[in-house]
Amino acid sequence: MSREYCKIFAAEARAAPGFGEVPEIIPLYLIYRPANNIPYATLEEDLGKPLESYCSREWGCAEALTAFGSSEAMQKCQTFQHWLYQWTNGSFLVTDLAGVDWKMTDVQIATKLRGYQGLKESCFPALLDRFASSHQCNAYCELLGLTPLKGPEAAHPQAKAKGSKSPSAGRKGSQLSPQPQKKGLPSPQGTRKSAPSSKATPQASEPVTTQLLGQPPTQEEGSKAQGMR
């Protein structure tokens, strides 16, 4: 889920002129090994170098910028956190961002509400409030038009900034669903041909019998048939 959020962020960041490189959360694969005592394991790309920490739950990104300098990758990780916090209305945050160059791995998540996106419980809900109070916007936050989380402009957290629009904002209502809209199929009853009525069978039996016998009905037989009707 963190990787999918990061891909949406990357699409918006690349659309902003002059943003440059964008952090990427590398995929994590689940493999099944039936002959092993522990059949399930995770597999990911070997980045080849020791991981550099860009943000941690212990000291956060604001402290990291002061203690370790303001590298471009660290500032953009902070911008990604700000964007994600605003995108989810303060309900979801990716933390413990570490990696090599622009590839991030082993990230952790923080949620405010239990059951968010199917999660069974909430994770570090106090971290979201701490992030909102300690985050300091940088040039990349301003480049995406993100709303500051502190100050008078933060009084309306529900209003999204003009520079950070949802990818689905320009779509029509019928295009929001990932499944294509199916056209209404005609009723199966409408394609059936009308079956001949059973009431018409007795009326047609008399001429059929006449054709089989090869003789026209006599006057006496005709009067008997009229008397039976």
> pLDDT by residue (tens digit) across 119-133?
777 788 888 989 998
SS3 content of the chain, % helix, strand, coil (to 5): 40, 10, 50
Dihedral sign computed on CA atoms, order 31, 6, 68, 86 = negative
Q: Which domains does the chain have, with CATH numbers?
A: 1-144 (3.20.200.10)
Residue written as tokens 């000291």?
59
Quick: pLDDT tens for 55-107: 877 655 555 445 445 789 999 999 999 999 999 999 999 999 999 999 999 89
- For the residues 188-193, what does the mean pLDDT come to? 49
In sequence order, the β-bridge partners of residue 43 are 29
Q: What pLDDT, on the 0 to 100 scale, is given for residue 153?
A: 54
Q: Provide, rounded to the nearest whole percent, the portion of the chain with pLDDT above 90.
A: 40
Of 61, 68, 82, 63, the closest CA to residue 13 belongs to 82
Coil vs helix vs strand at 38 = coil
Angle at 84 between CA 102 and CA 164, to 5 degrees: 95
